[in-house]
């Protein structure tokens, strides 16, 4: 099934992804991982939650971790262009029969909470507390030196349907994987901010969050993180990489936090701002689509993901599989 033509005039204007809310079972252990290992900056903490930002970000947070009995994902959040877009977004989701609610969130003004047709919890806002710049305070850089949040990747039980819905709200496909036998899309990468993706969808038991990614200055930062994790008790948290993706051309590493939430460390993709940029097609049988070079992905990378709170994932009807490491 071909990917849809881009919707250049969506019903509301999404600028970019913004932040993720995680439920974690040990707040102290998770704080240590995100602050001391990855190198994110703490912007708020109390006995129940901690928020972080990366080094180039002016918004108050890109990750919010909340003490919970279960590890899960509470929301994927996106920044809109202007205040009228919030009301336009509410009207759009209501028109699709999806629930909407105005919710209070610390450090933020109006926040619209809704969901996509498969139950992924989405939040939209315009204004978040602004913090002073820190990107030239080099004494603060540590861990992998994360600069900014880059994208979310979700498992989807129907990637074609997910692409169609997110295309309707203005996400544009940059690259996609097609199953040659069925003609269906097995995975797709979609953007708003002019990189390869703000969101991506991978075929599988879904919806679940596959990973959240952070952009870092260069591949050497990833090597530094591997040295740090391997000598501070986190070697078992290294899941895949380093390597280079065929799709996106990015240099990558995948690690797991103490609850198993997957984090990708990511750099070196390319610019996609032209609205008429044609998406790149990959065959599912191309071994270089997921790994241009490096070891193939382990089975856990295809099968394990974070549950969205209160959402029961469904099996995909598309059973095609790419190369899996033994």
**pLDDT tens figures, 142-152:** 999 999 999 99
Query: How do residues 85-96 score in pLDDT, each as one tens digit?
Result: 999 999 999 999
Torsion angle, CA of 96/20/196/319, rounded to 10 degrees?
A: -70
Is domain 14-131 in CATH 3.20.20.410, yes or no?
no
- Residues β-bridged to residue 102: 112
Integer angstrom CA distances of residue 237 from 226, 228, 309, 314: 10, 12, 23, 27
Q: pTM (2 decimals)?
A: 0.97
* Separation of alpha carbons 35 and 53, rounded Å: 10
- pLDDT band with cut points at 50, 70 and 90 for residue 324: confident
The third-level CATH classification (topology) of the domain covering 144-307 is 2,3-Dihydroxybiphenyl 1,2-Dioxygenase; domain 1 (3.10.180)
The confidence score (pLDDT) of residue 323 equals: 75
The confidence score (pLDDT) of residue 104 equals: 98
Beta strands in 204-295 (DSSP E): 208-215, 238-244, 251-256, 262-267, 280-283
| No. of helices (H) and no. of strands (E), the chain | 5, 18
Q: Where along the chain do its domains lie?
A: 14-131, 144-307
User: Is residue 326 over pLDDT 70?
Assistant: no
- Residues β-bridged to residue 173: 190
Contact 86, 125 (CB under 8 A): yes
Alpha helices (runs of H) in the chain, residue ranges in sequence order = 27-32, 83-95, 159-168, 219-230, 299-303
* Separation of alpha carbons 25 and 178, rounded Å: 38
């Amino acid at each position: 099934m071909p990917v849809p033509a881009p919707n250049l005039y969506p019903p509301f204007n999404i600028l970019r992804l913004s932040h993720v809310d995680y439920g974690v079972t040990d707040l102290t252990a998770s704080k240590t991982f995100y602050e001391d290992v990855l190198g994110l900056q703490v912007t708020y903490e109390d006995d129940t939650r901690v928020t972080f930002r990366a080094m180039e970000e002016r918004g108050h947070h890109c990750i919010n971790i909340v003490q919970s009995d279960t590890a899960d994902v509470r929301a994927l959040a996106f920044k809109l262009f202007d205040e009228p877009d919030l009301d336009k977004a509410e009207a759009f989701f209501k028109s699709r029969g999806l629930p909407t609610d105005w919710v209070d969130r610390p450090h933020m003004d109006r926040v619209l909470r809704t969901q996509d047709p498969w139950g992924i919890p989405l939040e939209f806002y315009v204004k978040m507390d602004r913090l002073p710049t820190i990107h030239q305070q080099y004494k603060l850089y540590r861990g992998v030196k994360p600069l900014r949040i880059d994208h979310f990747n979700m498992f989807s039980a129907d990637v074609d349907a997910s692409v169609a819905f997110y295309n309707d709200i203005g996400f544009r496909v940059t690259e996609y994987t097609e199953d040659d036998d069925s003609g269906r899309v097995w995975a797709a990468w979609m953007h708003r901010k002019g990189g390869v993706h703000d969101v991506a969808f991978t075929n599988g038991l879904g919806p679940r969050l596959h990973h959240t990614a952070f952009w870092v200055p260069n591949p050497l930062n990833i090597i530094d993180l591997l040295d740090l994790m391997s000598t501070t008790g986190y070697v078992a948290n290294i899941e895949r990489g380093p390597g280079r993706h065929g799709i996106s051309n990015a240099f990558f590493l995948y690690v797991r936090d103490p609850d198993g939430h997957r984090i990708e460390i990511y750099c070196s993709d390319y610019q996609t701002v032209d609205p008429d940029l044609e998406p790149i097609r990959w065959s599912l049988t191309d071994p270089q689509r997921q790994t241009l070079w490096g070891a193939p992905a382990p089975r856990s990378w295809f099968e394990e993901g974070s549950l969205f709170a209160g959402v029961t994932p469904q099996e995909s009807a598309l059973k095609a599989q790419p190369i899996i490491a033994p």
